[in-house]
Structure 1
Amino acid sequence: MKVKLYGVRGSLPAPLRNAEYRIKLEEILKRSIASGLKSEDQIASFLDHLPGHLSHVVGGDTTCVRVDSDDGNVYILDAGTGLRPLGDELMAGPWGRGQGKIHIFFTHTHWDHIQGLPFFKPIYIPGNELHLYSPLPDLEDRMAYQTTERFFPMPFHNSASSKHFHQLKKGEPIQLDGGLELDSHPLKHPGGSQAYRFRSDAGTFIFATDAEFTGEDLMSRPDDAAFFDQAELLVMDAQYTLDESFSKFDWGHTSYTMAVNCAVHWKVKNLVLTHHEPAYSDEKIFENFKNAIEHRMALQHTSPRIFLARESAEFDLRSLKSSPAQGA
């Protein structure tokens, strides 16, 4: 099972602004002078040794995650703006020829988790099958409502793909093609949200965005512990600093500090911090990442390995078992 991130921002898209871009450029140029960079063949090595906030961009698209089973089946989690580039990639395969099946699982239908669907090219190709999953009984109405003529020129049901809606039920796992089993778990978030757990012989992957956890929750919600227990890979909401989470109590999101606490308590093996605050710069987000690692060390734990969610980051559950990859 492989997992690829296409959208990692929370709340609304956050493209790189000119001011932040210039700050990055100035810092990179200063470092190039200090390093004695003299020729083009030194550039790649120089870039590889830059701090993360300079060598990468976190990305500005909202939540979208791709899961590939070992035999090539594709499953999608949420339809934020990251769904558009994912759709562009899929168009090179069966989905561009009207021979593809599309499976999208919705954690909830707040705007930043559905706004990419009208721009997802495969749904406009005749012959493609679109399967949409959620515990919500009215998911079809919600999908149609966002593309009424007041908001979008093409109504949802006028797109050429066939539409199939599946209502999930707590405690009733479903079997997916590719040897995967999926079940869901409710999370604390305004209007509700769902975590999704994929199981295969490669391990367990859990996606838990838009969730608010507190220290009291760790002891008072045993169902959480049972659901998250010893996951090989957990991609989890870590939108705020701890101080900011106090000022935004009941907004439905978690601090990176609490995400680490949860992962340690649940014995998670690899934690990916996602749903980044759109007001944070890349430098601030990488600082949070560093602080999350330091917090885990202060707890005197070497696990979980912690990763920062970045657009296009990929995780192979089989290789995670044998290699530390980029985590810390």
Structure 2
Amino acid sequence: MLVRFWGTRGSLPVALTAPSVRQKIVGALAAANGMRFDDADAIDRFVDELGFAAGATYGGATPCVELEVQGPSYIICDMGSGLRSFGLDSIRRNAEGHARAYNFFLSHLHWDHIMGFPFFTPAFDPEAQIRIHSAHPDAEQALRRQQEEISFPVPFDWLRADIAFVTMAEGQPIEVDGLVVEAKAQKHSHVSYGYRFTDRDGCITIYSTDSEHKPSDMEDEAAFIDFFRDADLVVCDTMYSLAESVSMKEDWGHSSNIVAIDLCHEAGAKRLALFHHEPTYEDEDIQRMHEESIRYEQLTRERSPLDVICAYDGLEVRI
């Protein structure tokens, strides 16, 4: 299984500003301090040494994650603004022989998780088949509503792909192209659902975003430990610090890096991807949270190590 991250921010898309780009360039030149580079490879190595926040960016597209598996269709979690880039890339792959079949799994219907669909080019392809899986019976209503004339110039009925909606039930697994998929309700406004994907080889990926975990509700936390059990990769909402999540942003429907690590440790998960980054965080803030998460994991580890990575737009993870 190959997991591709097309969008990793939460709430709304953000972009690097001119001052932010300038700051990265100034920082890189200051770090070079008169160094000479013989070729482009030497420059690449130097940029790697700068650290991710100084030499790259975590990106600003809202949630969209692809799971490449053995089946013929595309498997996509959420339709955030990152969906536009995925759609264009899938057209390239379709030209190389990939089936024009798309299976979506929606965590919930808030705008940052569906706003990419009006810009999803394959939806205009009459040869494309699109199946939208959700545990929300009002998923079709939400997607149609955002393309009403008051909000968008192209109505939903102008789309030419074969589009159908599939309503899932919590705790009742379904099979899609060899993947076994199970949905789990999460604490979030209008309810969010996490998904557990198990492929033919037994590889397990968890997609769990927009989920608030309360230390006071240990019964619910035990259920999530079971849901994350033995996962190869857990993509988890880590929008806030622990202090934020239990104080001024309590009941906002999001979680922290600390709680995610604790859950993954208890569940025996192998790898955690920090996800749904706060839109006000600069790259340096996200990198700092990642570094603190690695240290916390090391300090609290009791059994096998948990590999803590930080999702960014364009990241690929093979499991």
- TM-score normalised by L of structure 1: 0.91
Partner of 1:214: 214
The one-letter code of the counterpart of 2:310 is L
| Mean Cα deviation higher: 25-34 or 218-227 | 218-227
Partner of 2:109: 109
Q: Match of 1:257, SS?
A: helix
Q: Match of 2:80, SS?
A: coil
5+ unaligned residues in a row in structure 1: which ranges? 318-328
Closer, same or farther: CA 257–40 of 1 in aligned 2, 3 Å: same
**1:222: Cα distance to partner?**
3.1
Partner of 2:296: 295
Q: CA RMSD for the aligned pairs?
A: 1.8
Closer, same or farther: CA 218–305 of 1 in aligned 2, 3 Å: farther
1:217-240 deviation digits (Å, cap 9, x = unpaired):
345543222211111110000001
1:36-70 deviation digits (Å, cap 9, x = unpaired):
23433421221122211112210000000001112
Closer, same or farther: CA 160–75 of 1 in aligned 2, 3 Å: same
Partner of 2:194: 195
Residue 277 (1) aligns with residue 282 (2): no
Partner of 1:305: 307
Contact 1:98 1:127 in 2 (8 A): no
Q: Match of 1:207, SS?
A: strand
**1:146: Cα distance to partner?**
0.6
Residue 12 (1) aligns with residue 18 (2): no
Contact 1:90 1:96 in 2 (8 A): no
1:1-31 deviation digits (Å, cap 9, x = unpaired):
1110000000000111112111111111111
Between the aligned partners of 2:19 and 2:259, the Cα distance in structure 1 is 31
Contact 1:186 1:194 in 2 (8 A): yes
Between the aligned partners of 1:242 and 1:175, the Cα distance in structure 2 is 36
Contact 2:73 2:100 in 1 (8 A): no
The one-letter code of the counterpart of 1:247 is M
The one-letter code of the counterpart of 1:272 is A
Contact 1:98 1:126 in 2 (8 A): no
| Mean Cα deviation higher: 256-265 or 9-18 | 256-265
Contact 1:218 1:265 in 2 (8 A): no
The one-letter code of the counterpart of 2:256 is S
1:117-148 deviation digits (Å, cap 9, x = unpaired):
00000001112111111011121111111100
Contact 2:72 2:98 in 1 (8 A): no
The one-letter code of the counterpart of 1:259 is A
Partner of 2:259: 258
**1:303: Cα distance to partner?**
2.3
Closer, same or farther: CA 129–227 of 1 in aligned 2, 3 Å: same
Q: Match of 1:195, SS?
A: strand
Between the aligned partners of 1:120 and 1:95, the Cα distance in structure 2 is 17
Between the aligned partners of 1:218 and 1:229, the Cα distance in structure 2 is 16
The one-letter code of the counterpart of 2:255 is T
Residue 57 (1) aligns with residue 69 (2): no
| Mean Cα deviation higher: 57-66 or 124-133 | 124-133
Between the aligned partners of 1:181 and 1:98, the Cα distance in structure 2 is 21
Closer, same or farther: CA 192–278 of 1 in aligned 2, 3 Å: same
The one-letter code of the counterpart of 2:33 is I
Contact 1:96 1:122 in 2 (8 A): no
The one-letter code of the counterpart of 1:271 is L
The one-letter code of the counterpart of 1:61 is A
Contact 2:24 2:55 in 1 (8 A): no
Partner of 2:67: 67
Between the aligned partners of 2:130 and 2:71, the Cα distance in structure 1 is 19
